[in-house]
Structure 1
Amino acid sequence: MKKEKDNIITNFTPFSVVKEKWLQTMEKSISSTSYKSYISAIKDFSLKFNDWEIKNINQLNIQDYLFSNNWKLKTIKHKRAVLYSLFNFATKMKYISENPTNNIILPKSRETLIDIEFEENKGLSRDELHIVLDYCERANRDIRHTLIMEFLFLTGMRLEEAGGLQVSDLDLNNKKLSIKHVIDTKATLDSSRTLYPPKNRGSRREIHLNPRSIEIIEWFINNQIDFVFTNRNGNPLQQASCFSFIKNVCTKALGENPKRKFNNHMLRHAHITLLAELNVPIKATMARVGHVQESTTLRIYSHISKKMKDETAEKLDKIII
């Protein structure tokens, strides 16, 4: 057995061969969006090391690669995680004896003032949403995108979850829906109707719908037989058009702000902040938005809203010693 193992390790195997076998495994075990993200993450690495014998790629090569570009720390961490997965696969398949990414040294995160301000301005308050919705009505902006934007704010659903929502997933009589699958909102029209499992097990969930959310759904499902949310041509949601619409109307309504990024994920962040304002327990919030890690929810909870700050100040003002 040891001889067989040694033979596998000593045989010449280029990185490109192992990469393709790893990608075949990943394609069957992760979401379409994550799979594309993995391919993108190793593109530059592949260009440089494709023809190298995989056992000759060492820690120093990977360390130099990760720091040879002016990537942000978040990007470096993601690339390192993807490479770890690839070389871990190579180790388990006996192409190499040790994972060269194990001891990669990453710098400590040093947030700039701009990073902090971006993080603090990630959400959207209810008052701001009213301003944006009023602008959309006055300016006669696309009603479908306007309603989808409002629905994402009210439910905290990811865009791909809303895009994959089927009429059969609805139980409007009991004011709830089930999130069972997602779509790839970056897919071309040929594959845009393909359904995939949600991001993780926690993402499969049932959520309550308030009356306004139900009104929005009912507006869309008139004569619909499969997807709830579609564009005017009856095709599933596309990330590019939703992102462009949200960025445009928020900028028009709220003004240019170099310290803010307006996008669809901002609405999910805003919903979690709204739940914090309503004093919803963190476990209930996690269940509603499909978070598996408590730290993910707490990170958003830590950015308290202006309303919460005002309420705290009001309570402090009443203290008498």
Structure 2
Amino acid sequence: MEQVKIANITQKTIRPADKTGYIEVKFRTYFNNQLTNKRREILSDWYTIVNKKDTTGKIKLSPQIKAIIHKELQEKANKVYEELTRTILLEKSDITLDEVWNEWHNERVERQLVAPKTLAGEDGRYRNHITKQIPKNSILKNIPSSLIKNLLDNLYPIGNHKRLAQGVKSDLTSIYKFAILHDYISPDQNPMPYISIGRKGLSDELDRLKKSDIEDQYLESWELKEVLSIVRKYNEQYARIFEFQALTGMRIGEVLGLKEEAIDFNKNIASVIRTRATHGGASEDSYEGNVKNLQSYRNVQLSKRAIEILKEEIELNHQHIRFNPDYKDNGWIFTSKSIHKPDYNGTPLHYSVLNNFLNSSENGKLNRNGNPRRAGIDIDNKLSFKKHITTHIFRHTHISFLAEQGVPLEAIQDRVGHSRGSRVTEIYLHITKKTKDQIIPILDTLTQ
């Protein structure tokens, strides 16, 4: 039984005793119930005690009597606390999936525990996948393991969404852990430790490997130059952004989240301390959000060309500050400067705008007049090679280039803000394998 911390013991009530020279005394104490933040009083039984008082007017008690009273009140307090706890837990035992989800998600938003983009991903997986198979009003402790397993199996291995299945599993694991820590369920009511994401069959795995090509995830040097040349014809600022991304390995949100104050031009260093965001708790006035994870907070050494890009963009901003009355200067570097959207002048660009510029999903769809839309530049169909271009490919290009130059994996991970796995490792291993293939021909010349 848990020991509750009780307050000092004092006299509560005194009454005459049947025995001459004695009185009957009832004692009191209290404890603060941490579950309710309320004080709970505890009373002792009646004690028959010699009617002698100390200098303060209180009944004198022997050490033996004090110990007996303390033991009784402590045991009573422990029992009351246990009953109160059991009652509260019973009241919470019917908590629903949606109630726990909202508490968990809102806490992450309010405390800014993760990046806004991560919060948006969690929210999307909950609405679009979890609640499509598990009703919101399901009592958390009653959700069968088989239902969760079927949810994951419907994403993977039956489908091709392994990363989505992993994300859903991670969300549910966090929700159940949150519920346990808040005493909504007991640890033995958590099914997640027993649920795993199944593997595909061998034939499915072989098909996946045949179809997947890691080389599609990054650009060779000549491919990068071709992409930037095409982009530059339509938008020089966007070309600078993509080139800067390729030179630094930053995520697009990190690039757009740069402010002048984050650049040390004396040491040629950019401090990655924020990301561009307008949702998941980020203020629409500041457009600031947390970076993706702890490893993302970092200093990135900048090349000569990267510094040139920053100075060029900053100089354009200062021209707008002097001559454009619509421009709102808040220190952002890569900002909107459009005559068509004066209300946005000075605000940082959004990554969705850049991705839509490259390849918009609206491109080719019929408008109200029945004519095909022309959204973005549809760059995939302008290239001499077959690759899908998004803002993230420039980050992968940076990783592949460093791997080709023999930069150690750990150094690359530190530079791009990744501590483990994912595409960083996949690209690195792929590039280094290509380098290893060159070893045998070289060795053949060793003794000749």
Partner in structure 2 of residue 299 of structure 1: 426
**Map 1:83-162 → 2, pairs under 5 A:** 83-97=172-186, 98-109=189-200, 110=205, 112-113=207-208, 117-137=212-232, 140-162=233-255
Report the alpha carbon displacement of residue 119 of structure 1 after superposing the two structures with TM.
2.6
Q: Which moved more, 1:305-314 or 1:191-200?
A: 305-314
Residue type of the alignment partner of 1:167: E
More strand by share: 2
Which residue among 16, 20, 23 is the counterpart of 2:102?
20
Q: What are structure 1's unaligned runs of at least 5 residues? A: none
1:245 to 352, 357, 360: 357
SS in 2 for 1:207: strand
Flag the 1:229–1:307 CA change in 2: closer, same or farther, 3 A.
farther
Aligned CA distance change for structure 1 residues 193 and 178 (closer, same or farther; 3 Å): same
Pick the aligned partner of 1:227 from 326, 332, 338: 332
DSSP-derived class of the 1:78 partner: helix
What secondary structure does 2:288 align onto?
Answer: coil
CA deviation after TM superposition for structure 1 residue 187, in Å: 8.2
Structure 2 CA distance for aligned equivalents of residues 113 and 189 of structure 1: 38
- Give CA-to-partner distance per residue, 1:146-194, whole Å, 9 cap, x none: 1111111111001111111000111123222111111227789972732
Aligned in 2, Cα 1:82/1:192: closer, same or farther, shift over 3 Å?
Answer: farther
* TM-score between both structures, scaled by the size of structure 1: 0.87
When residues 9 and 255 of structure 1 are mapped into structure 2, their CA distance, relative to the original with a 3 A threshold, is: farther
More helix by share: 1
Cα separation, 1, equivalents of 2:196 and 2:171: 15
Greater RCO (CA < 8 Å, at least 6 residues apart): 1
Question: How big is the alpha-carbon RMSD for the aligned residues of Structure 1 and Structure 2?
Answer: 2.9
Matched, 1:204 2:204: no
- Check if 1:10 corresponds to 2:102: no
Cα distance in 1 for residues equivalent to 2:193 and 2:282? 40
Letter in 1 for 2:167: H
Classify the secondary structure of the residue corresponding to 2:238.
helix
| Percentage of matched positions with identical amino acids | 26
Work out whether 1:78 is the aligned partner of 2:167. yes
CA distance in 2, matches of 1:306, 1:267: 21
Give the deviation of 1:295 after TM superposition.
Answer: 6.7
> 8 Å contact 1:185–1:237 — kept in the other structure?
no
Whole-Å separation in 1 of the counterparts to 2:350 and 2:206: 32
- Structure 1 stretch 209-218 or stretch 221-230: which is displaced more? 221-230
Native 8 Å contact 1:186 1:239 kept in 2: no
1:233-312 alignment to 2 at 5 Å?
233-247=345-359, 248=377, 250-255=379-384, 257=386, 260-293=387-420, 297-304=424-431, 308=435, 312=439
1:28-107 matches, within 5 Å, as: 28=111, 29-43=113-127, 44-46=129-131, 48-68=134-154, 71=159, 72-97=161-186, 98-107=189-198
TM-score under structure 2 normalisation? 0.64
Partner of 1:173: 266
For the structure 1 residues 58 and 40, does the alpha-carbon distance in structure 2 shift closer, same or farther, using more than 3 Å as the test? Answer: same
What SS is found at the alignment partner of 1:221?
helix
Distance 1:174 1:245 in 2: 34
